Amino acid sequence: MEIRPMTDHTGAEVRGIDLARPVPPEAKDALNRAFIERSVLVIRDQSLRPQEVLAAVELFGRVFQQHNTKFALPDCPQIHYLSNQDRYPDGRRYIPGEGWHTDHSNDTRPPKATVLHAVSLPDRGGDTQFANTAAAYSALPATMQERIAGLMAIHVYQSSHSTRQLIGLPETAKERVPNAVLHPMVRTHPESARKSIYINPIRIEGIRGMDHKEALPLLGDLLVHATAERFQYRHAWKPGDLVMWDNRCLLHKANGDYDMEQTRYLYRVMLQGDVPR
Ligand code: SIN
């Protein structure tokens, strides 16, 4: 197995391993180390059925129950799909993951990682962008680091301030998804101990104890800073890719910039995380 960095701060490409076969303990340790150090793992040349994806991700942790069961695979509901062929109830096309976000931050224990495995890809476009919010936090002026220390953001399923609209939860899923949770805007990674900016424009309704007039511009400024190109790794998908990222220290977004006559379809699974601190 070969592991190669992809930018100077984010991303590692992994070749020479077949996740459908047993992975030796040294390789498992190396993959987990690379995941913590590089935040995005791009494991090339995989061809995994849903049950094999589930078995493979056990190398990294426990599966997290995703919120919107509408996207669960009938035969393997812990795996959801992402597809450009779904539509909003009013008929508009739904592109999952458009707009910067971190996954399921409206959970009390949001997923530490998300894993996608490409099943069908457009000929070009449909990249996933990642922004390293630990690097972005380190680059903040000390005055801003002090200003946001201790601030708690209110996360909900769908922020009323978000320009991106999510597909609503089925009634059965609503019962298990919290109405609102509070998370620190600066979180410390439980494994690397690095601090990162933890914000989510799709889910954050406000900042505890702060007027929207102050909170929304602050969140906007932090988002612009955190997603600057110098903190990004942009993933151009190849057939066979399995990509896993760390939601604790990254924002990410999908791009719906390709020929919609072509299908973009990926399996998605998440891994259980901790209470952000
Ligand atoms: C997501 O936000 O989970 C989807 C990312 C993608 O489809 O590229």
pLDDT digits (tens, 9 = 90+) for 91-144: 999 999 999 999 999 999 999 999 999 999 999 999 999 999 999 999 999 999
**pLDDT of residue 175 exceeding 90:** no
Nearest to 175 by CA among 157, 189, 201: 157
Q: What is the CA(210)–ligand 1 centre distance, in A?
A: 31
Average pLDDT, the chain: 97
- Could you identify the atom of ligand 1 that is nearest to the CA of residue 82? 7
At 189-244, the pLDDT tens digits run 999 999 999 999 999 999 999 999 999 999 999 999 999 999 999 999 999 999 99
Report pLDDT for 219.
Answer: 98
> In this predicted structure, what is the pLDDT of residue 173?
85
Ligand 1 near 254 CB (within 6 A): yes
Helix (H, G, I), strand (E, B) or coil at 65: coil
Q: How many CB atoms lie within 10 A of CB 238?
A: 11
- For residue 176, pLDDT over 90 is answered with no
The length of the chain is 277
- Number of neighbours of residue 225 by Cβ within 10 angstroms: 18
Q: Which of 242, 260, 268, 271 to mutate to test the pocket of ligand 1 (most atoms within 8 A of CB)?
A: 268
Q: What's the CA gap between 52 and 45, in Å, rounded?
A: 14
Would you say the CB of residue 97 lies under 6 angstroms from ligand 1? Answer: yes
240 close to 74: Cβ distance less than 8 angstroms = no
Ligand 1 touching residue 40 (CB < 6 A): no
**Residue 196: enclosing H or E segment and its boundaries?**
strand 195-197
CA 185 / ligand 1 centre spacing (Å): 22
Share above pLDDT 90 across residues of the chain, in percent, rounded to a whole number? 95
> From atom 4 of ligand 1, which residue's Cα is the shortest distance away?
97
- Cβ count near 38 (within 10 Å): 24
In tens, the pLDDT along 4-40 reads: 999 999 999 999 999 999 999 999 999 999 999 999 9
The alpha carbon of 252 and the centre of ligand 1 are apart by a number of angstroms equal to 7
Give 58-79 pLDDT, tens digit per residue: 999 999 999 999 999 999 999 9
Q: Whose CA is nearest to atom 1 of ligand 1?
A: 97
- Closest atom of ligand 1 to CA, residue 235: 8
Residue-level pLDDT at 194: 98
Query: Residue 29 CB: number of other CB atoms within 10 A?
Result: 11
Q: Are strands 76-83 and 232-235 parallel, antiparallel or unpaired?
A: unpaired
DSSP letters for 43-59 = E-S----HHHHHHHHTT
- What 3-state class would DSSP assign to 155? strand
Does 96 contact ligand 1 (Cβ within 6 A)? yes
CB-count burial class (<10 Å; 0-12, 13-18, 19+) for 145 = middle
All domains of the chain in start order, with CATH: 2-271 (3.60.130.10)
What number of other Cβ atoms are within 10 A of residue 160's Cβ? 7
User: Which residue out of 84, 102, 162, 253 has the highest number of ligand 1 atoms within 8 Å of its CB and is therefore the one to mutate?
Assistant: 253
